[in-house]
């Protein structure tokens, strides 16, 4: 099986195929990770926000639409998707750590480097293993149908880390709408804060913190954790 990184969009079934949609997001992620490595300060914060808006909806759509299809289509689909779910969980926890560190703190560079490493490992696992296996197992019509479903979910998915929420249905499906609202409010506030004068910045940051607290209150509801595999489950203190 060829890695999807070595295949053209035509080989992958055209732009509507879930494989092509995945590859296009991965290409954009690689560009953003390169920017993260080259920037610092407020500019790096803006790149991080763009990275979150790509990574978390992408992963949420995978966990809601794509991984269930893989578990159904492949005899070892459970083990394959669980490995990637664990990577997604680590990304969530790394971003939570990063968000609580001072911009010039001694630990921050190490956490950021680990985040970049895990994201690149996740892409390799998907492009070299999971997605080629799915390509071999399903007809093109099914890959295109999955692409449509994946895109619909991705466009309406949370954009921030939620390590307490289940990585599997039904918990992640129930969590989608309320957490999407709180996350996108935070995105607007945080982006405004990166370009505002210091007097306005403090108010925007305080409002974003309130939205984050609301998200945490939602994600710790028991229904949001249903379906989680024990190896990726986390308690309240992880959020």
- Phi/psi zone of residue 13: left (φ > 0), alpha (ψ -120 to 50 degrees), beta? left
DSSP assignment string, 97-113: HHHTS-TT-TTHHHHHH
Domain map of the chain by residue range? 7-238
pLDDT of 239 higher than 90: no
pLDDT of 102 higher than 90: no
Q: What is the pLDDT averaged over residues 206-217? A: 93
pLDDT of 125 higher than 60: yes
Q: Mean pLDDT lowest for which of 68-72, 112-116, 198-202, 210-214?
A: 198-202
Per-residue pLDDT band for 161 (boundaries 50, 70, 90) equals: very high
Cβ proximity of 215 and 183 under 8 Å: yes
pLDDT for position 149: 97
Both tokens assigned to 154: 């991705």
For residue 18, which of 27, 9, 5 has the smallest C-alpha distance? 9
- Percent of the chain whose predicted confidence (pLDDT) is above 90: 82
Give the whole-angstrom CA distance, residue 169 versus residue 234: 16
Q: What is the pLDDT of residues 1-53, one digit of tens each?
A: 899 999 999 999 999 999 999 999 999 999 999 999 999 998 999 999 999 99
Both tokens assigned to 54: 């790509």
pLDDT for position 103: 81
For residue 218, which of 169, 160, 153, 149 has the smallest C-alpha distance? 160
Both tokens assigned to 76: 């070892």
Instruction: Count other Cβ atoms within 10 Å, centred on residue 5.
Output: 16
pLDDT for position 197: 83
What's the half-sphere exposure (Cβ side, CA atoms, 13 Å) at 14? 9
pLDDT of 151 higher than 70: yes
pLDDT for position 92: 96
Per-residue pLDDT band for 233 (boundaries 50, 70, 90) equals: confident
pLDDT of 238 higher than 50: no
Q: What is the pLDDT averaged over residues 91-120? A: 94
Per-residue pLDDT band for 196 (boundaries 50, 70, 90) equals: confident
pLDDT of 237 higher than 90: no
pLDDT for position 235: 55
Q: What is the pLDDT averaged over residues 202-231? A: 92
pLDDT of 104 higher than 70: yes
Per-residue pLDDT band for 211 (boundaries 50, 70, 90) equals: very high
Q: What is the pLDDT of residues 56-76, one digit of tens each?
A: 999 999 999 999 999 999 999
Q: What is the pLDDT averaged over residues 87-107? A: 92
pLDDT for position 74: 96
């Amino acid at each position: 099986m060829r890695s999807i990184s070595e295949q053209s969009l035509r080989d992958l079934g055209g732009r509507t195929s879930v494989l092509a949609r995945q590859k296009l997001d991965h290409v954009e992620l690689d560009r953003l990770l390169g920017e993260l490595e080259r920037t610092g300060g407020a500019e790096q914060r803006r790149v991080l926000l763009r990275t979150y808006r790509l990574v978390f909806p992408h992963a949420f759509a995978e966990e809601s639409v794509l991984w269930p299809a893989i578990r159904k289509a492949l005899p070892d689909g459970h083990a394959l998707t669980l490995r990637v779910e664990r990577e997604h969980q680590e990304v969530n926890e790394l971003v939570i750590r990063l968000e609580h560190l001072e911009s010039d703190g001694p630990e921050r560079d190490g956490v950021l480097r680990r985040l970049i490493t895990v994201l690149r490992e996740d892409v390799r696992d998907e492009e070299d293993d999971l997605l080629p296996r799915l390509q071999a197992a399903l007809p093109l019509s099914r890959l295109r149908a999955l692409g449509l479903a994946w895109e619909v979910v991705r466009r309406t998915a949370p954009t921030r880390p939620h390590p307490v929420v289940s990585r599997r249905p039904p918990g992640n499906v129930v969590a989608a709408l309320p957490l999407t609202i709180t996350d996108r409010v935070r995105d607007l506030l945080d982006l405004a804060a990166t370009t505002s004068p210091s007097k306005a910045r403090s108010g925007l940051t305080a409002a974003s913190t309130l939205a984050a607290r609301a998200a945490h209150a939602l994600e710790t509801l028991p229904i949001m954790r249903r379906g989680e595999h024990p190896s990726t489950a986390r308690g309240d203190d992880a959020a």
